């Protein structure tokens, strides 16, 4: 038995179980009222889907974070991290936050992207806070992930709600990603199918990891992602040439050469050297000062410069090089129209 309703449904969700996307009522395939089960016990119907609001946190809780990765201090004033360590944030400024370790009592600057709020979902390997539906698909379809890889992300359309994205295989489409809306209950619980509810997202993940129970597949490993690169140190703009080690020549052109190298022995960077006389140091530095403030996730980031000739430009290192060169490689020419259109959309972002 289906559900009769005429309004268009929110096309952000392409998958759901036993529930009408138009009117939000459960669909009973046998024409009978279904029992709702929570932890093996029957609960009352109806379930109410609503826009959740996060409970207020105390000021102390808001300033406590947990380290997601180890970090060895490399600068005067930064603070080392041990994975799992709890810290108190004293000041949030830019990409380096001033913090105090609750383990050692020491204070210093830490990379903002190496920590997450305590008593939150952020430390969970399957939780991806600020990504879009399309970004979820890109990450799940990337190498290292397999059938059943999954993540939970914040909903783009319903504040306070979440969605589950799962990598699957379709006979017609090949590797694909299915999305399920996780609905909120008025008592604070969650469900995908109204047949079974959960008190937390952790319970939901554990259940569907044991059994697909209506999903496209059983949940496997959380989506793999690369460890983030620590932000560039805030005071390092004009750096000494001796701090750079050039390792591999990537190319050469009219104005100079491009190398892969390391800054201070630990940060992988791209180094562009300008031929002497191709540009005056003063003109170059003026242009570089403008470029360093131009930051966007889709643009290669300018980190630092060496202003004595030969002039060096230090930028973010991109493993596959420039897009135009990559598209000419054997890997690039095999890309399908869907991937090419996705790249074009990112360029226009």
Q: Clarify whether residues 162 and 302 are in a common domain.
A: no
Q: Clarify whether residues 154 and 83 are in a common domain.
A: no
Q: Clarify whether residues 71 and 205 are in a common domain.
A: no
Q: Clarify whether residues 216 and 167 are in a common domain.
A: yes
User: Which residue positions form the known binding site?
Assistant: 272
pLDDT tens by residue, the chain, 349 residues = 444 443 333 444 545 555 544 444 444 444 444 444 444 434 434 444 444 444 444 444 458 999 988 888 877 788 988 888 899 999 887 788 899 998 888 888 888 888 888 888 888 999 998 889 999 998 999 888 999 999 999 988 888 899 999 999 988 778 899 999 999 998 889 999 999 999 999 999 999 999 999 999 999 999 998 777 777 666 677 788 888 899 988 888 777 888 899 987 778 888 888 877 777 777 777 777 777 777 777 778 888 888 787 888 888 888 888 888 889 898 888 888 878 888 888 887 6
- Confidence at residue 292, expressed as pLDDT on a 0 to 100 scale: 74
Strand partners, 272: 258, 313
Q: Clarify whether residues 147 and 211 are in a common domain.
A: yes
Residue 3 falls inside a structural domain: no
Question: Quick one: which of 146, 243, 220, 133 has its CA closest to 180?
Answer: 133
The total domain count for the chain is 3
- For residue 111, give its domain range: 59-117
User: Which residue positions form the known binding site for ATP?
Assistant: 272
Q: Clarify whether residues 139 and 38 are in a common domain.
A: yes
Q: Clarify whether residues 276 and 191 are in a common domain.
A: no
Q: Clarify whether residues 176 and 285 are in a common domain.
A: no
Residue 110 falls inside a structural domain: yes
- Confidence at residue 233, expressed as pLDDT on a 0 to 100 scale: 65
Q: Clarify whether residues 46 and 146 are in a common domain.
A: yes
**Can you point out the beta strands (E) in 51-149?**
64-67, 86-93, 96-101, 107-111, 115-117, 127-128
- Domain termination site, one of 203, 231, 259: 231
């Amino acid at each position: 038995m289906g559900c009769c309703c005429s309004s268009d449904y929110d096309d952000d969700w392409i998958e759901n179980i036993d529930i009408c996307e138009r009117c939000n009522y459960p669909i009973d395939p046998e024409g009978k009222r279904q029992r709702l089960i929570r932890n093996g016990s029957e609960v009352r119907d109806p379930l109410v889907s609503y826009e959740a609001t996060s409970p207020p946190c105390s000021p102390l809780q808001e300033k406590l974070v947990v380290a997601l990765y180890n970090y060895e201090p490399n600068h005067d004033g930064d603070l080392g991290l041990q994975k799992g360590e709890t810290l108190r944030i004293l000041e949030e400024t830019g990409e380096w936050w001033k913090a105090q370790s609750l383990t050692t009592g020491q204070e210093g600057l830490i990379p903002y992207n190496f920590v997450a709020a305590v008593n939150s979902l952020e430390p969970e390997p399957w939780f991806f806070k600020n990504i879009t539906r399309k970004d979820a698909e890109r990450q799940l379809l990337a190498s290292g992930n397999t059938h059943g890889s999954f993540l939970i992300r914040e909903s783009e359309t319903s504040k306070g709600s979440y969605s589950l994205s799962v990598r699957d295989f379709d006979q017609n489409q090949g590797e694909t990603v299915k999305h399920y809306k996780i609905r909120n209950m008025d008592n604070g619980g969650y469900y995908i199918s109204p047949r079974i509810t959960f008190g937390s997202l952790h319970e939901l993940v554990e259940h569907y990891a044991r059994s697909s129970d209506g999903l496209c597949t059983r949940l496997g490993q959380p989506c793999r992602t690369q460890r983030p690169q620590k932000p560039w140190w805030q005071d390092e703009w004009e750096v000494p040439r001796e701090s750079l080690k050039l390792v591999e020549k990537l190319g050469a052109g009219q104005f100079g050469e491009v190398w892969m190298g390391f800054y201070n022995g630990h940060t992988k960077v791209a180094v562009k050297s300008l031929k002497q006389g191709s540009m005056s140091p003063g003109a170059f530095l003026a242009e570089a000062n403008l470029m360093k403030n131009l930051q966007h996730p889709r643009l290669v980031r300018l980190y630092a410069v060496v202003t004595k000739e030969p002039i060096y430009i230090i930028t973010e290192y991109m493993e596959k090089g420039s897009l135009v060169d990559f598209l000419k490689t054997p890997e690039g020419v095999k890309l399908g129209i869907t991937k090419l259109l996705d790249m074009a959309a990112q360029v226009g972002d």
